[in-house]
Chains A and B, each alone.
Chain A
Amino acid sequence: MIALALHALRRAIFAISIAVIFVVFVGPIAILGVTSIRPASGVFYIWRGTNFTFNNFVEVLHQSQVVEAMWNSFVLSTLATILSLGITVGSGYMLSRFGGWIQRSWFATIYIFRTVPYISWVLPLYLVNTRLGIYDTYIGLLLPHIAVHVCFFSWLMKGFFDGINPSMEYAALIDGCTRWGAFYRVALPAAMPGIAALAILCWLSTWNEFLFALILSGKRTPLITSTMAQFVTETGTEWNLMSATAVLAMMPALLVTIFGQKYVIRGLRM
């Protein structure tokens, strides 16, 4: 009897926990979703009234800056992913397979950069970018993103390569490969699930990034995250338009997450 009661209690606690987690995580997104289909007059009372409209979406998609920002964010995320993975894969492999002062210094550099708070880079980077004349350009946004990714993902990449037994590469060396061939034809394909996972994480983190976008981009290369914030104006916040933009911005990330999830999980399990 007591066992049965305990069982019921445990189930109840489990159900309540799930409900709380659900509300905490899904609640804001649900509010965002509903806000995005409410007219401007309805945004403060989203749980009342039956006025729904897709005009918000039409309106933001007619704003050239929003469309341009989405395109810029897409290009920036894709380029940053390709370029930073190119470096990260090599860097992770080097850290995993070779020892020596170069590797140790590189490791120390990455470590130091990881310990520095992200936000403290942004203002110096603004000064550097304006001085170099690359403020508000692709290159001025790309370079900081690549730097951050290389520092943050080299360790993960090293972990992936650590998980691949080097004797596979030795076998390749004996089977007629050069050192480069052993890396390219054997280690790299074996690390592919990990690389795919990193590519997804890398793309998402650039797409969602806000600080660099806010400080280092301007009118010429607007990015989606900073553009969204521009609905906060002197005359008030256009919540409905901001929500519609946010929902649009969520779409690519959502698609990548849904379709890439299995690669991320497989990769991180490596």
Chain B
Amino acid sequence: MAEVTLQDVVKKYGTFKVVHEVNLNIAAGEFVVLVGPSGCGKSTTLRMIAGLENISAGTIRIGDKVVNDLPPKDRDIAMVFQNYALYQHMTVFDNLAFGLRNRKVPETEITSEVTRATQMLGLEPLMARKPFQLSGGQQQRVALGRCIVRRPQVFLFDEPLSNLDAKLRAQMRIEIKALRERVPTTSVYVTHDQVEAMTLGDRVVVMKEGWIQQIGTPLQIYNRPANRFVASFIGAPAMNFMKVELVEELGVMSAQAKDFKVELPLEQAAVLRKHGAKTVTLGIRPEHIRFGIPSDNAGSSFSGVVTVTEQLGSEQVIALNVADSTIMASRISPETEVSPHASVQMWVDAKALQFFDDKTEMAIR
């Protein structure tokens, strides 16, 4: 296990910058997830750590060693690829043994290492098979095994579950998590799937257009997003946004839009007062929009017209038309009967509201 440090790392293709001054310290044994939409530079960043891409500027350290100019084979890393990247002409055993054989490890040791990995991953019956005889899930397990046998300093994962179907993806996610417990190794995991980011990461790095937007624990990212992009990217259904006007009446601040008014708690009001803007963007997580009328906090209720309902069995997601914009409300009990076009009463927990500057889109704290 080693720590990984990225200092002002830049990647340019010609004059086009795809990764901007990335600074990231990954502690030894930590599991960090890079997440973002396609083209955000997350895979490029990972490939720079792996040595598969040259860096245009900055420094990458693995342990104490600056690895900027080291070829991938000398970085003591292992990588899992989206399309498994197994050696098609080799058996499962040879695939697992390949890295060790390259390092001139004695054959008896190779056998014991490969056996350890295959037991861990339940691959024993498949040892003599070739990759094309395996299912997607089995192939990805072999790819994981190829990482484990080498006992590298760092594991790199490049969207390893993207090619699997939803059910298998959930299962493999759990396996990766379980594997972490048994083989604790510094890991960098790239995904565009926020569920993987939230469930696997000790810390999550959200990226957009080559810039790091926020680094934090999954809960920090979810509960205190640094800007509107992070707020909208993490969470499904996505956070709702609404332009509101901040109005002070008799010392009480409220966020208002057409047919919408929420009174704000004192601390929230103080922060917004200090910020100074009169109109801001309000962010509400769908689960904070509740059905009905609150018993204690009548000031935060509002009404909307149901446009669509989505029954998921465990919950119900409904789309509402409130103040001329469509917002989604979820965590409605699946038993609640809601029909489209019905006018319904909703309320929000004012403490859970987020505010973003209209121009900079940064969270107002």
Point out residues on A near B: beta carbons under 8 Å.
165, 167-168, 170-178, 181, 186, 189-190, 192
CB distance from A168 to the nearest CB of B (A): 5
Q: 20 A-B residue contacts at CB 8 Å? A: A167-B82, A167-B85, A168-B87, A171-B79, A171-B86, A171-B146, A173-B51, A173-B52, A174-B72, A174-B75, A175-B73, A175-B98, A175-B99, A176-B73, A176-B102, A186-B87, A189-B87, A190-B87, A190-B88, A190-B89
Q: Which residues of A contact B83 (CB under 8 A)?
A: 165, 167
In chain B, what residue has the closest Cβ to A168? B85
Query: Which 10 A-B residue pairs are closest in the complex by CB-CB distance?
Result: A176-B102, A175-B99, A167-B85, A171-B85, A189-B89, A173-B72, A167-B81, A176-B73, A174-B72, A168-B85
A170, A175, A181, A192 — which one has the most chain B CB atoms within 10 A of its CB?
Answer: A175
Residue B103 CB within 8 A of the other chain: yes
CB distance from A122 to the nearest CB of B (A): 41
Residue B78 CB within 8 A of the other chain: yes
Q: Which residues of B contact A165 (CB under 8 A)?
A: 83, 85
**Known contacts A167-B81, A170-B52, A171-B79; A177/B73 CB under 8 A:** yes
Residue B110 CB within 8 A of the other chain: no
CA distance A171 to B83 in the complex (A): 11
Interface residues of B in 51-110 (CB under 8 A from A): 51-52, 71-73, 75, 77-79, 81-83, 85-89, 98-99, 102-103
Asked whether A176 lies within 8 Å of B89 as measured between CB atoms, the reply is: no
CA distance A57 to B98 in the complex (A): 55
Pick the contact of B103: A172, A176, A186, A190 (CB < 8 A).
Answer: A176
Given known contacts A168-B88, A173-B72, A176-B102, what 14 new A-B pairs fall within 8 Å (CB)?
Answer: A167-B81, A170-B52, A170-B81, A171-B86, A173-B52, A173-B73, A174-B77, A174-B78, A174-B79, A175-B102, A176-B73, A176-B103, A181-B102, A192-B89
CA distance A172 to B73 in the complex (A): 8
Q: How large is the interface on B (under 10, 10 to 19, 20 to 34, 35 or more residues)?
A: 20 to 34
Asked whether A176 lies within 8 Å of B99 as measured between CB atoms, the reply is: yes
Q: Which residues of A contact B52 (CB under 8 A)?
A: 170, 173-174
Residue B50 CB within 8 A of the other chain: yes
Q: Which residues of B contact A170 (CB under 8 A)?
A: 50, 52, 72, 79, 81, 85
CA distance A189 to B78 in the complex (A): 22
CB distance from A260 to the nearest CB of B (A): 20
CA distance A172 to B87 in the complex (A): 8
CB distance from B293 to the nearest CB of A (A): 56
Asked whether A174 lies within 8 Å of B87 as measured between CB atoms, the reply is: no
Q: Which residues of B contact A190 (CB under 8 A)?
A: 87-89
Pick the contact of A174: B73, B86, B88 (CB < 8 A).
Answer: B73
Q: Which residues of B contact A172 (CB under 8 A)?
A: 87, 98
In chain A, what residue has the closest Cβ to B77? A174
Pick the contact of A171: B71, B87, B89 (CB < 8 A).
Answer: B87
Q: Which residues of B contact A167 (CB under 8 A)?
A: 81-83, 85
Interface residues of B in 141-186 (CB under 8 A from A): 146, 150
Pick the contact of B50: A174, A176, A189, A192 (CB < 8 A).
Answer: A174
CA distance A14 to B98 in the complex (A): 53
